[in-house]
Amino acid sequence: MVIYEKAPAKINLTLDVLHKRNDGYHEVEMLMTTIDLADRLSFEKLDSNQVVIASENRFVPNDRRNLAYQAATLIKERYNIKEGVRIHLDKKIPVAAGLAGGSSDAAATLRGVSRLFGLQLSQEELQEIGAEIGSDVPFCVMGGTALATGRGEKLTPLPSPPPCWVVLAKPNIGVSTKDVYSKVQFDDMRHPATKEAISALKQQDFKTLCTTLGNVLEPITTSMHPEVLQIKSRMEKTGGDGVLMSGSGPTVFSLVAKEEKADRIYNSLRGFCSEVYAVRMLR
Ligand SMILES: C[C@](O)(CO)[C@H](O)COP(=O)(O)OP(=O)(O)OC[C@H]1O[C@@H](n2ccc(N)nc2=O)[C@H](O)[C@@H]1O
Ligand SMILES: Nc1ncnc2c1ncn2[C@@H]1O[C@H](COP(=O)(O)OP(=O)(O)OP(=O)(O)O)[C@@H](O)[C@H]1O
C-alpha cells in the first residue's frame, strides 16, 4: 500500500516578536496561511525497521537532518512501531526560503505515517508531536489560516484570506532562522497591526489585509541581504497589492487580487530572480 500526502508551503501575513524567553526561543504573534505550492510525499511500509528517504533534490538531506526523517522516527518510537517506512519526497517548495518547506514535510510525514500504520491519531496529537520537531510544524499539521502564538505552536484557526494570487520570489541566498532571531532588537521595533489584520480576515477585507501585512524580521534579513529589498521594491512598483518577506526570509511574496496583474509581476521578476512562482491561496 502506498499513501500520498501533500505538504503545502506557508507564508506569514504578519510576524511579531513580543519578547525573548528563558528557553532561548522568542515569544511570537503571527498570522500564517497555506498556499498552493506544495511538496508531494509518498509512504510505503518496509519490513526492516528503518526510515529511508529518497529525494531527487540535491539540497535536501536524506538522513536524520531531514525533518521528514525526524517525524517518521519520532512517531515510530512513540507508538513502538517495529516496521520501517520508505518516504519519497518530491520537492517543489524552495529550500531554506522562509516558506516552512521542511516543517510541512514533517507535518505530512506525521499524517502519512499515522495513516500507514492505522494509528488513528487526532490532529491535536499530531500537533503535539510536531512541536517537538520545530515551531512551525504544528501549524503545518493544521493548515489553513491561523494566529500562532507561544513559540509558534499555539494555534487559533481563522478564516482564510479572500481568494487572490500570491506571487513569490526567492533570491539565491541562504538565511538561517536562528541567526535572524539572534539579531532581534526591541528598541524601535515596528510591530505589525495584528488585531487589524485579524479583523480584515474576519471581514474578508482584502484591501485592509494588504495594508496590515508586517514582519519584524524583515529589516534584519534585508540589512544582511539588500537583494531582498530590491525584490520587494520591484514587486511594489509592478503593482503588488501587499508585499512582504515571509518568515525569516529570504522569499518575498505579493498578494494580488487580479490574475493579469499577477502575470505582470511574475514576468517582471522572472528576468531578475531564478525562483519565481505565481500560485493561489489555499482556502
Ligand atoms: C520564522 C518562522 O518560520 C515564522 O513562521 C518560525 O518562527 C521559525 O520556525 P522554525 O523554523 O520551525 O523554527 P525552529 O526550528 O523551532 O527554531 C529554529 C531556531 O529559531 C529560533 N526561534 C524559532 C522560533 C521562535 N519562536 N523563536 C526563536 O528564537 C531559535 O533560535 C531556534 O533554535
Ligand atoms: N524536508 C526538508 N526539506 C527541505 N529542507 C530540509 C528538509 N529537512 C531538513 N531540511 C534542512 O533544513 C534547512 C531549512 O529548510 P526549510 O526549507 O525547511 O527552511 P525554511 O522554509 O526557511 O523553514 P522555516 O520557514 O520553517 O524557517 C535546509 O537547509 C535543509 O538542509
Residue 222 has what pLDDT?
97
**Tens of pLDDT, residues 257-266:** 999 999 999 9
Judge if ipTM > 0.90: yes
Domain over 160-280 is classified CATH 3.30.70.980: no
Residue 165 has what pLDDT?
98
Distance 135 CA to ligand 1 centre (A): 6
Report which ligand 1 atom has the smallest distance to the Cα of 181.
Answer: 29
With a pLDDT cut of 90, the percent of the chain lying above it is 96
pLDDT (average), residues 12-31: 98
146 is in an annotated binding site: no
pLDDT (average), residues 9-32: 98
76 is known as an active-site residue = no
Residue 76 has what pLDDT?
97
Distance 260 CA to ligand 2 centre (A): 32
**Tens of pLDDT, residues 36-74:** 999 999 999 999 999 999 999 988 999 999 999 999 999
pTM: 0.97
Q: What's the mean per-residue pLDDT of the chain?
A: 96
* Residue with CA at minimum distance from ligand 1 atom 22: 25
Residue 272 has what pLDDT?
85
Pocket of ligand 2 (CB under 6 A): 60-61, 65-68, 95-103, 105, 136, 177, 247-248
- Could you say which ligand is closest to the alpha carbon of residue 55? 2
Grid-cell match 514582519, residue found: 215
36 is known as an active-site residue = no
Residue 123 has what pLDDT?
96
Asked if residue 113 has pLDDT above 90, the reply is: yes
Report which ligand 2 atom has the smallest distance to the Cα of 175.
Answer: 22
**Tens of pLDDT, residues 201-232:** 999 999 999 999 999 999 999 999 999 999 99
- Would you place residue 154 in the very low, low, confident or very high pLDDT band (cuts 50, 70, 90)? very high
* Residue with CA at minimum distance from ligand 1 atom 6: 136
Pocket test for ligand 1, best of 19, 155, 181, 246 (most atoms within 8 A of CB): 181
Residue 283 has what pLDDT?
78
Asked if residue 179 has pLDDT above 90, the reply is: yes
Residue 271 has what pLDDT?
85
Q: Which of 10, 76, 91, 170 is catalytic?
A: 10
Whether 2-157 shares its CATH topology with 160-280 is answered no
pLDDT (average), residues 73-89: 97
Distance 278 CA to ligand 1 centre (A): 26
- Could you say which ligand is closest to the alpha carbon of residue 32? 1
Residue 274 has what pLDDT?
84
- Would you place residue 282 in the very low, low, confident or very high pLDDT band (cuts 50, 70, 90)? confident
Q: Which of 16, 39, 105, 136 is catalytic?
A: 136
Residue 72 has what pLDDT?
98
- Topology (CATH) of 2-157: Ribosomal Protein S5; domain 2 (3.30.230)
Report which ligand 2 atom has the smallest distance to the Cα of 91.
Answer: 3
Give the domain ranges of the chain.
Answer: 2-157, 160-280
